[in-house]
Amino acid sequence: MNLSLALATAALLTAQTPSTLPAGHPPIPPGTEASPATSTMKPAGSAMPEGHPPTEGVAPSINPEQLPPGHPPMSGTGRAPPSAEELLRQLDSTEGLADREKTFEIAASLGRLYYVNGRNAEAITYLQQALARAKPTRELFLAQRKKLGKAAVPTAEAAGCGFTVNMPVEEMHTAAEARAKKGDTAGAAACARAALAPVLDVAVMEANAHYLSNDSAKALTAYNAVLEVEPRHEDALYARAALLFETKGDDVAALKQAGEGFEAVAAAHPDSYRAPMAKRMATLVEETVKAGGRKKLLASRAEDRRIRLSQAPAAAEADAPRPLSQEMVDAVKNTERTPELEQGLAKLVEEGEEHLAQGRYQEALANYTRVVPFQPENGRAKAGMAWALVGLDRPMAARVWGVAVQSDPLSVEKLGDTLKAKGDEKGARALWEKLAADAPEYPNKASLQEKLGQ
């Protein structure tokens, strides 16, 4: 489900209440291609101001490649579709929108629109409404799968479900339910599982929104709900494992579950861009479990470093990061740079900065090590990684910090601004002081000194 579908959904909803559009917004007439589902409500053009040229049968100009599969062709008039920001303003001004009855597809589209624009609270509201509409399908699938026992659920194609692209979830549910009533357990399970494909994507999005809202418990519950239906679901497997490792670092049982999740991702999805990182994380989790938890692991490492440094200062080099294997290098090179990947990397950087501001240097470092292989020139990520290593007092911190300061000192200075904005004034000042001391020729030193009150 893509943004163009969310835009079409928003237009459909707001077309039902033209009086709530922002001041000066042109009315959206029912019956046009922009709102085909409302074509029986009123004659086309009746909502236009007096003297407006007829608009029957026309639609905003949209790139056909952006339309969802199976979407009817749209003739262009040269008028650009509304931006996401404009649509959000329009939706925010629609009274009673959250309480209005919606199909799964409409609720999911609204939830996605709010989610991709960082409005997680609103996103959760609509995503949960979508999941509520799909709950009967979920329950039907779980019941039929239980009846199958150890027998595998056949594919929708093998079962002859006959579903088409963009068929509504509730329509697919009706077909699956009919098979269940006839005693076709395997067919009912197959068709119900096919109907749940878009539902699982929405469920993962809801879990992510909970996590981004700092509600790890609800996020974990939501990921588990996805895996109950599809134990091999890549996004849910990886996200749950990462969440367990991040939030339950001293719970050995939870850590073992996280390790199993990372191993499952690598085994079930070996060609995924996540597979190399999943293998590395599985190794790190195993090491953490053997130590008895993250705190004990860090304490053990600190003691090891103390002993090495006391015996031979040069041994500090042994703490340097291991080079990427050729397999991992190839995986990074061959990964398609999709908008979703870029957005995910940007989110990791933002989360890393939040970790830094809260003093969670280990968690921040974990985020940055997932970004830098894909974006080695990302100054913001390099600055964050360097400061995380400084905070952890790693022997390699001086070298990584020096690279960040020499290659992009402005990004280092801006990281201080970010820390201050997030409430970590002490950390921001410490960073600026270190930058001023280690980069005496910094061109922007006057600004730095002003921030330090010198």
Tokens of 338: 């999709």
Query: 35, 67, 100 — which closes off a domain?
Result: 100
Q: Is 164 in the same domain as 198?
A: yes
Q: Is 130 in the same domain as 205?
A: yes
- Predicted confidence band of residue 332 (pLDDT cuts 50, 70, 90): low
Could you report the per-residue pLDDT of 137-191, keeping only the tens digit for each?
A: 999 999 999 999 999 999 999 999 999 988 999 999 999 999 999 999 999 999 9
Least confident interval from 3-17, 18-32, 191-205, 432-446:
18-32
| Mean pLDDT calculated for residue range 302-325 | 55
- Predicted confidence band of residue 356 (pLDDT cuts 50, 70, 90): very high
Query: What mean pLDDT is reported for the chain?
Result: 79
Q: Is 88 in the same domain as 131?
A: no
Per this entry, what is the length of the chain?
Answer: 454
Which domain, by its residues, includes 279?
231-335
Q: Is 248 in the same domain as 330?
A: yes
Count CA atoms within 13 Å of residue 354 on its CB side. 10
23 has pLDDT over 90: no
Q: Give the CATH number for residue 359.
A: 1.25.40.10
Query: 69, 100, 131 — which closes off a domain?
Result: 100
Are 10 and 110 within 8 A, CB to CB? yes
Q: Is 355 in the same domain as 313?
A: no
Q: Is 396 in the same domain as 415?
A: yes
363 has pLDDT over 60: yes
Least confident interval from 35-49, 176-190, 386-400:
35-49
The H or E element containing residue 135 is helix 120-148
Q: Is 8 in the same domain as 107?
A: no
The overall pTM is greater than 0.85: no
Could you report the per-residue pLDDT of 225-238, keeping only the tens digit for each?
A: 999 999 999 999 99
Q: Is 14 in the same domain as 78?
A: yes
Q: Is 315 in the same domain as 362?
A: no
395 has pLDDT over 60: yes
Q: Is 220 in the same domain as 243?
A: no
Q: Is 52 in the same domain as 25?
A: yes
Domain count, the chain: 4
Residue 191 CA to residue 176 CA, distance in Å, equals 5
In order, the DSSP letters of 26-53 are: PP--TTSTTSGGGTTTS-TTTTSPTTPP
| Mean pLDDT calculated for residue range 336-362 | 87
340 located within any domain: no
Query: 286, 313, 335 — which closes off a domain?
Result: 335
How does 157-184 read in b/e, with b if 16+ C-beta sit within 10 Å? eebebebeeebebeebbebbbebbeeeb
Amino acid at 406: Q
68 has pLDDT over 90: no
